Amino acid sequence: MDKNRIAVVIPVYNHESKVAQVVKEALKLHLPLFIIDDGSTDSTYGRIKDISHITIIRHATNRGKGAAILTGFTAAFPSVDWIITMDADGQHCPENVWNLIRAVPHGERPIIVGLREGMDHRHVPWSSRFGRVFSNFWVRASGGPDIRDTQSGFRLYPLPEAMHLNVRARRFQFEVEILVRAKWHGIPVLETPVGVTYEAEEERVSHYRGFVDFCRNTGTFSRLIFMRLCVLPFIQRR
């Protein structure tokens, strides 16, 4: 894999307390770095606007994490063949990027998901633990890959393949839907271990909204299961 053909995309929404530190750590990778500010209403942009050697793209309003990732894909392509995504809350260690890259089998173009280790730490919120189990089950039920961390945002995507999967979700659900659609289209989805850091609750930035996100997740998986049962068999017979 050509290092000159890899870029990092960090979607950001109201992460003023962590974003500058995350960006500066990511710069140490010496890879092109795209920051997608998804309509932040706090001081996020002010914290990063003067940092050199990064590209900042701003959404006028909040459009969702998936929309921000797609904006990053479009901005980086066609100058790169691979995109690494990581979260802006400081939970990912940028150095683990090399774990993702080393996990790519020679001659293949899979999606690599960072399998977060240490999810039993006392600072890991119950919603993250439950969400991972919930998501893993329904991804499999939707005909997606049988992996252990379908909610990890630390990933390596091949371009342009990841851009052409017709993912409909534009918020957090994008990250599970793209895995399901990748499996449907014959794109391998693999995992490799990465570290994770969760701050104490009072220091952690989270945009999880219990009931609203549960309903969105349920809607996304219901749509995918319907497509798997009623649409895909028809398409495959044509």
Radius of gyration of the chain (CA): 17
Helix axes 174-184, 210-226, angle to 10 degrees: 10
Residue count (the chain): 238
Alpha-carbon span 101 to 120, nearest angstrom: 26
**pLDDT tens sequence across 67-82:** 999 999 999 998 999 9
Q: What is the pLDDT of residue 219?
A: 93
Reported as a pLDDT band with limits 50, 70 and 90, residue 197 is: confident
pLDDT at 117 over 90: no
Domains, in order of start, for the chain: 3-237 (3.90.550.10)
pLDDT confidence of residue 202: 47
Q: Give the separation between CA 235 and CA 238, rounded to whole angstroms.
A: 5
Query: Of the ranges 15-24, 99-108, 205-214, which one carries the lowest mean pLDDT score?
Result: 205-214
- Is the pLDDT score of 124 beyond 70? no
Instruction: Select from 164, 171, 170 the least CA-distant residue to 186.
Output: 164
